[in-house]
Amino acid sequence: MSTVSGRAKILIVDDDRDLVAALRVAVESAGYDVVSAYDLPSGLEVAGAERPDCIVLDVMMPHATEGFHFVWRLRQQGEPYFRNVPILVMSAIHQKTDLRFYPDSADGTYQAGEFLPVQDFLDKPVDPALLLERIDRTLRLKAGA
């Protein structure tokens, strides 16, 4: 949901506050509003309260794969917003597991029953330019949907 000023709102969820600060600078520089959270409960709370247009999420948070649970719990909520809000996952976890959690499609949607129902995936360490490009693409796909 865009803000009053018409700018898209991005929620960044990561337990690394320094990384959130760096990404906030990058994302704000592209003209988005940024809200942030540092763990699963506050992430769900901020998502519910702020209704961001896109969520940038870290997988590995203090309680192991908290990011996975964030996604599953968010998607389970009844409102269509929670099922559709685009999520970009940041992680280095694919380097040490053969779990496949890339989305099957590249059209900003995910399939029912997919291991991790998210729209996109970014390697850590995150390249800010790439992150902005992906946020832009995700929002465009969402707008066109």
Partner 1 sequence: MTAEASVLSDLERRTAWFIKLRWLAASTVIGAAALAAGLGLSVPAGYILAVGAGLLVYNTLLWLVARLLSVRPVEQDWASVNSFARLIVPRTFVGLGGEAGVARAALFAFVQITVDFVFLAVLIHYCGGIESPFCVFFVFHVVISSILLSRRATYVQTTVGFLLLAFVVFGEYFGFLKHYPPDAFAVPGAYRNLGIVTARLAVLGATLFLASLLCSTIAVDLRERVRSNVSLLRQLEGAYEKLRESERTKSQYMRKVAHELRGPLGTIETALKVLLQGLGGALTDRSRELIARAERRAGELAAVTQDLLLLARAREAGLDKEEAPVALDPLLAEVIEDFRERAERKGVALKAGDRAGGVVLGDAIALRQLAANLIENGIRYTEPGGSVTLHLSSQGERLALEVEDTGIGIAAEDLPRVFSEFYRAANAREYAAEGTGLGLTIVKAIAERHGGTVVVESNLGRGTRFTVTLPGVHDRPVGAPE
Kindly list the residues in this chain that would bind partner 1 in the complex (CB under 8 A).
16, 18-19, 21-23, 25-26, 29-30, 92, 95-98, 124-129, 132
Q: How far is the CB of 26 from partner 1 (least distance, A)?
A: 4
Pinpoint the alpha helices (H) of 61-127.
66-76, 80-84
Q: How far is the CB of 21 from partner 1 (least distance, A)?
A: 8
CA–CA separation, 145 and 21 (whole Å): 31
Select 107 or 127, whichever has its Cβ closest to partner 1.
Answer: 127
**Cα distances (Å, whole numbers) of residue 124 to 39, 56, 115:** 18, 12, 20
Q: How far is the CB of 15 from partner 1 (least distance, A)?
A: 9
CA–CA separation, 58 and 14 (whole Å): 5
Select 91 or 119, whichever has its Cβ closest to partner 1.
Answer: 91
* Residues 6+ away with beta carbon under 8 Å from 139: 8, 53, 54, 86
Select 80 or 125, whichever has its Cβ closest to partner 1.
Answer: 125
Helix, strand, coil shares of the chain, percent, nearest 5, are 40, 15, 40
Q: How far is the CB of 38 from partner 1 (least distance, A)?
A: 13
Q: How far is the CB of 29 from partner 1 (least distance, A)?
A: 4
* Residues 6+ away with beta carbon under 8 Å from 7: 31, 32, 33
Select 4 or 18, whichever has its Cβ closest to partner 1.
Answer: 18
Select 117 or 134, whichever has its Cβ closest to partner 1.
Answer: 134
